[in-house]
């Protein structure tokens, strides 16, 4: 079976999981309300939604009721009737560029995030999330790291340009998207997180099981096993993108940016 529908949410959200099979024999009595809440953070197109579903299920955690896939700062995921969606409208907000929007996002997190028993995810506000999480030690953080060139190629193929908002000086949109992703990757790397490489994460569930055990050593995290028939097709698309002229451009821009930006920080 390449696709199936599974209702993993404890809210009214209907989640379609394509090509994932996982067996988690977790005792029904094992509750997680006292566990520190989990944040899954990554760049876009990094298997983060599937990872969120699997991790939340393994830990028996709750999810915010006003959004899907735990995306607490993505208004595109919010329920249509959720009033505060205008507060977090912009993506890839930097404090030095738009301090008012930055602090609106910070205040929103302060108001809606629960310190225990919940799982959250973010791929669209790395600068806000990094600043907020670094000042709060009560949370656990799982960071998915993927090759920036692969992320940029996937985003540009889909026409996703939100990361361009974090760029400094590039006039063309492609270079701005790449620069914004590079800044985001740098800031996520500063978090006190357990980091899992994308290539390890998508293999079979072993890397995710080990990461959750490291984050919650006192919780009986059952082994996660999955087979995703879509991943082979995604890998084939990635290989095709790597052979394209656009990918060569992306790698060239990344090399130039790496030289010019050095150890500077966008914060």
* pLDDT tens-digit readout, 237-266: 888 888 889 899 999 999 998 777 665 666
The whole-angstrom distance between residue 169's C-alpha and the CA centroid of its chain comes to: 26
Tell me the C-alpha distance between 44 and 152, whole Å. 9
Q: How far is CA 1 from CA 5, 52, 233, in A?
A: 11, 22, 15
Give, for 20, the enclosing helix (H) or strand (E). none
Query: 180 Cβ partners below 8 Å, 6+ apart?
Result: 92, 162, 163, 164, 165, 166, 167
pLDDT of the residue at 77:
86
Domain chopping of the chain, boundaries: 32-261
65-92 per-position pLDDT tens digit: 888 899 999 988 887 767 665 566 689 9
- Which pLDDT tens digit goes with each residue over 107-123? 999 999 999 999 999 99
Tokens, residue 14:
């209907």
DSSP 116: B
Distance CA 43, CA 125 (A): 9
pLDDT score for 29 = 36
- Domain 32-261, CATH among 3.40.50.10860, 3.20.20.80, 3.40.50.300, 1.10.390.10: 3.40.50.300
Q: What is the pLDDT of residue 76?
A: 86
């Amino acid at each position: 079976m390449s696709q199936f529908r599974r209702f993993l949410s404890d809210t009214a959200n209907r989640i379609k999981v394509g090509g994932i099979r996982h067996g988690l024999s977790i005792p029904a009595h094992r509750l997680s309300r006292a566990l520190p809440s989990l944040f899954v953070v990554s760049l876009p197109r990094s298997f983060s939604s599937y990872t969120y579903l699997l991790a939340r299920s393994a830990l028996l955690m709750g999810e915010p009721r006003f959004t899907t896939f735990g995306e607490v700062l993505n208004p595109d995921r919010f329920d249509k009737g959720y009033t505060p969606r205008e507060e977090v409208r912009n993506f890839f907000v930097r404090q030095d560029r738009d301090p008012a929007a930055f602090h609106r996002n910070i205040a929103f997190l302060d108001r809606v995030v629960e310190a225990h028993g919940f799982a959250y995810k973010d791929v669209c506000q790395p600068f806000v999330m990094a600043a907020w999480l670094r000042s709060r030690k009560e949370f656990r953080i799982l960071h998915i790291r993927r090759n920036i060139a692969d992320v940029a190629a996937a985003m540009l193929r889909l026409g996703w340009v939100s990361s361009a908002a974090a760029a400094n000086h590039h006039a063309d949109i492609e270079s701005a998207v790449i620069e914004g992703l590079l800044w985001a990757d740098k800031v996520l790397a500063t978090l006190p997180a357990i980091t899992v490489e994308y290539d390890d994460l998508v293999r079979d569930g072993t890397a995710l099981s080990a990461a959750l055990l490291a984050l919650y050593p006192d919780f009986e995290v059952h082994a996660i096993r999955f087979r995703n028939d879509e991943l082979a097709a995604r890998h084939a698309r990635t290989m095709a993108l790597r052979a394209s002229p656009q990918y060569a451009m992306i790698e060239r821009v990344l090399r130039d940016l790496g030289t010019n930006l050095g150890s500077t920080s966008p914060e």
